[in-house]
Amino acid sequence: MNIISDLDIVINDPKLSNELRDIAIKVVDQQRISNDDALMLYEQGSLSYLGSLANLIRERKHGDNTYFNRNFHIEPTNICLYTCTFCSYSRLIKKREEGWEYTHDEIMDIVKSYDDKPVTEVHLVGGVLPQYDVKFYSTLFSAIKAHRPDLHVKALTPVEYHYIFKKDKLSYEDGMKLMLQSGLDSMPGGGAEIFHPEIRDQIAGGKCSGEQWLRIHEVWHELGCKSNATMLYGHIESFWHRVDHLDQLRQLQDKTGGFQTFIPLKFRNENNQLSHLPEVSVIEDLRNYAISRIYLDNFDHIKAYWPMIGRDMAQLSLAFGVDDIDGTIDDTTKIYSMAGSEEQNPALSTEQLVQMIKRVGRRPIERDTLYNVVQDYTDVAFDSDHEYKGYLSLPVIGN
């Protein structure tokens, strides 16, 4: 039987321009696309075209596997020295009494409150304050590891590291080595925003530059360690700024191979200085996931951060190149709820996450932070399975 895939239909569409057809052929032939190609995808690629190509890559790399982990978040403070215009935290510096600044012991109490829970990762990140210096974080990481050695510490971003190393007159190399020795396991992808100074200076002035962000990840990778990368899109940037951002990530990944996951972060416009900007549409979100998947051929994973975009969009994103939907996040993460994210109380049990993935015909795989498989839930039944009467194995776009 000759099965015509969605991809064949897209490529053979007589209305498709020659340029877009050539890019599609490159993708099918597993060739890298250029920056000009990426710009054309942003400017002209339809949702169905991009989705078909991104899904082809996603399924080549991972089949139906869809990864998640069991983690919890700690935000040591919601007050920050910097005043990034997109951020819903920074205004609190003037009203410090409205915020929180946890001590070492208070953070350890949060860690200990998960002692009887099967979490594998703590994701620790928050605002930048002077009392949180090299000594504070190195002592904290050591204490977490001493208390629970199996818990993966994914903590801080180059924004904090650049600030604390500068204060202590430490080089990036010496600083990151010290963090590794103290118990840091990996670095999350935050603080990247948009690298190009034309945009970065306007939305994130004063904090580490794009170049410094990339250099700290490079140093960390040279130590044999892993990290993630993000891009905050949908505010004042143009498409070419996004391509420039992706280009710099792809180049560094060619050099080090240390990135695990790319996480596009949609700008949310509540309670910040950019509230006058409309948010981009869900179509643009899906196009952006797909283009990221197509362009970043050397990244294994593309993650949709469900607390930010909501559960329905997270399900949809799995047909547009995404293969990871982050964790169970058994906590209330405030950065996003303050910025107007879809999920005001972002907590999902493992069972709910597994169901979410199964209901769009994918295989739920619990992973640890480094993508070792913890458990394949494909054949694990839950009591709530009978509640869903829909089609459990939806055909997905592309083949």
Residues that bind ligand V47 (CB under 6 A): 86-88, 188-191, 193, 228, 230, 232, 263, 265, 267-268, 272, 305, 326, 335, 339
* Residue 232 contact among ligand SF4, ligand V47, none, beta carbon within 5 to 8 Å by kind: ligand V47
What DSSP line would sit under 230-258, residue for residue? EEEESSS--HHHHHHHHHHHHHHHHHH--
Residue 339, binding choice from ligand SF4, ligand V47, none, Cβ under 5 to 8 Å by partner class: ligand V47
Residue 210 interface partner, choices ligand V47, ligand SF4, none, CB cut-off 5-8 Å depending on type: none
Cross-strand bridge partners of residue 373: 367
CB atoms closer than 10 angstroms to residue 121? 22
**21 SS3 class:** helix
- Per the document, the length of the chain is 399
- DSSP H helices in the chain: 6-11, 18-28, 35-44, 47-62, 104-112, 134-147, 158-167, 172-182, 197-203, 210-222, 239-256, 282-295, 306-309, 311-317, 334-339, 350-358
- The residues in 165-204 that bind ligand SF4, with binding defined as CB under 6 A, are 204
Tokens representing 25 are 């052929």
Q: Which is nearer to ligand SF4, 89 or 306 (CB)?
A: 89
Site string for ligand SF4, 220-259 (x = CB under 6 A): ----------------------------------------
As measured in angstroms, the least distance from the Cβ of 12 to ligand SF4 is 45
- Closer of 49 and 305 to ligand V47 (Cβ): 305
Number of helices and strands in the chain (H, E)? 16, 11
**With binding defined as CB under 6 A, does residue 87 bind ligand SF4?**
yes
Q: How far is the CB of 36 from ligand V47 (least distance, A)?
A: 27
C-alpha pair distances (Å), 146 with each of 8, 159, 240: 55, 26, 46
Contact between 153 and 122 under an 8 Å Cβ cutoff? The reply is: yes
Q: How far is the CB of 313 from ligand V47 (least distance, A)?
A: 14
Of 186 and 272, nearer to ligand SF4 (C-beta) is 272
100, interface contact from ligand SF4, ligand V47, none, CB < 5-8 Å by kind: none
Residues of the shown chain interacting with ligand SF4 in the complex, contacts defined by CB under 6 A = 80, 82-84, 87, 89-90, 127-128, 159, 204, 207
